[in-house]
Amino acid sequence: MARAFLFILDSFGIGHAADAADFGDEGADTFGHIATLCAAGKADRKGVRKGPLKVPNLRKLGLERAAAIAAGRNPDRLAGEHGFFGAAEELSTGKDTPSGHWEIAGVPVPFEWGYFPKAVPAFPGELTERLIAEAGLPGILGNCHASGTQIIARLGEEHIRTGKPIIYTSADSVFQIAAHETHFGLERLYRLCTIARRLVDDYRIGRVIARPFTGRNAGTFKRTANRRDYAVPPPAPTLLDRVETSGARVIGVGKIGDIFAHKGVTEVRKAAGNMALFDVSLEAIRDARNGDLVFANFVDFDTLYGHRRDVPGYAAALEAFDARLPEALAQLRAGDLLILTADHGCDPTWRGSDHTRERVPILGFGSGFAAASVGLRRTFADIGETVADHLGLPPGPHGTSFLPMAAHA
């Protein structure tokens, strides 16, 4: 019986989607722009990156061919792959984390998320009044669109002095609450987010995010790994539910449990930072039994480098991940399938600080699979259906397995 491993390189898009213009993202290309700037040794606002992007293992799995497919080019002139490769675009109407992950797991989002306006205040008065009353708060700070690190630096000291939590949003469907782990209290922050989750349901908000931080002043404030996402549950059973129904386990690494509102996630394993998450993922591969799915999210690409528009940082993170890929490949047994993909883009060369609407890579490896193209998939759900097919699960209502195209004849 088979095992499956889904690794999400959070935000690693490989070129703008067909409908990117509708999102103001036509021309965005997370991978392409990072590679181009690295090769040119050009500076961004975070510094200078010298030398080409070195990701030999991702390239061997077909990254450049996947990028060619995403751009509508013929990939046949590129060589050196030992895995199947392709690209996928999103049916769901957003470019956010839940939509991308749910669709990868076979459930495209059939509705529009709610968003808060780019105004001050950003939140309806009725919402903030109810939150303050129900949580017994002295008030709130922020109430605007903001970068998380910047708003903590700006308002963190006032937060400590007044006891008012920092609440902000972005272009995503989110309601984010930052508070000091000691002065405000971590458990109190979680309780506040639980109240907020219930209140923002009326506004169709995808996630309430707890953003705890530590430090004494603006120069030392630092967000911690105790982040917690309070997401709306998926609108239908996902691949994760189907794996559990079969009697097997889903091991969620990183924020997977939070993204799926802990539906269909048998076991949660967390860590701080991509390299620690890779360690945990390797442990999960070793622990996985026949029929199990290990679903891992590597969040640093997005939160630390994409949103912060840090090209050198993103490039270094890709190289660090790439250097460890052989460790994961060496853990695979006969009958295993590993797929690397992403949930959206976050081009660090793009204007603003938001996600970008992009196609994502499909890079797969395992014994019994050919170095073959699976083409451009018209929905992320094809990825989930391929995993389901590999695990011998019945097909779901969305997506089509590309397993026959990837398997050796």
Residue with tokens 């050198």: 312
Q: State mean pLDDT over 326-346.
A: 96
Query: For residue 166, what pLDDT band results from cuts at 50, 70 and 90?
Result: very high
Query: For residue 41, what pLDDT band results from cuts at 50, 70 and 90?
Result: confident
Pick the most confident of 226-230, 269-273, 293-297: 293-297
Instruction: Please report, rounded to a whole number, the percentage of residues in the chain having pLDDT higher than 90.
Output: 82
Q: State mean pLDDT over 51-67.
A: 94
Q: Residue 47's pLDDT is what? A: 63
Q: What is the pTM of this model?
A: 0.88
Do the Cβ atoms of 188 and 159 come closer than 8 Å?
A: no
The residue ranking higher by pLDDT, 64 or 112, is 64
Q: Residue 353's pLDDT is what? A: 84
The per-residue pLDDT for range 245-286, each reduced to its tens digit, is: 999 999 999 999 999 999 999 999 999 899 999 999 999 999
Res 409 pLDDT > 50:
no
Q: Residue 322's pLDDT is what? A: 98
User: Mapped to the 3 state alphabet, what secondary structure does the chain carry?
Assistant: CCEEEEEEECCCCCCECCCHHHHCCCCCCHHHHHHHHHHHCCEECCEECCCCCCCHHHHHCCHHHHHHHHCCCCHHHCCCCCCEEEEECCCCCCCCHHHHHHHHCCCCCCCCCCCCCCCCCCCCHHHHHHHHHHHCCCCCEEEEECCHHHHHHHHHHHHHHHCCCEEEECCCCEEEEEEEHHHHHHHHHHHHHHHHHHHHHHHCCCEEEEEEEECCCCCCCEECCCCEEEECCCCCCCHHHHHHHCCCCEEEECCHHHHCCCCCCCEEECCCCHHHHHHHHHHHHHHCCCCCEEEEEECHHHHHHHCCCCHHHHHHHHHHHHHHHHHHHHHCCCCEEEEEECCCECCCCCCCCCCECECEEEEEECCCECCCEEEEECCCHHHHHHHHHHCCCCCCCCCCCCHHHHECC
Q: Residue 42's pLDDT is what? A: 66
Res 180 pLDDT > 90:
yes
Query: For residue 44, what pLDDT band results from cuts at 50, 70 and 90?
Result: low
Average pLDDT, the chain: 93
Res 144 pLDDT > 80:
yes
Do the Cβ atoms of 9 and 297 come closer than 8 Å?
A: no
Q: State mean pLDDT over 56-83.
A: 84
Q: Residue 82's pLDDT is what? A: 76
Contact partners, residue 391, CB within 8 Å, separation at least 6 = 2, 3, 4, 243, 246, 248, 291, 293
Parallel, antiparallel or unpaired: strands 174-180 and 207-214: parallel
Q: State mean pLDDT over 137-162.
A: 95
Going by C-alpha positions, the residue among 117, 13, 47, 17 that lies closest to residue 309 is: 47
Q: Residue 79's pLDDT is what? A: 53
Q: Residue 43's pLDDT is what? A: 55
Q: Residue 56's pLDDT is what? A: 95
Res 24 pLDDT > 60:
yes
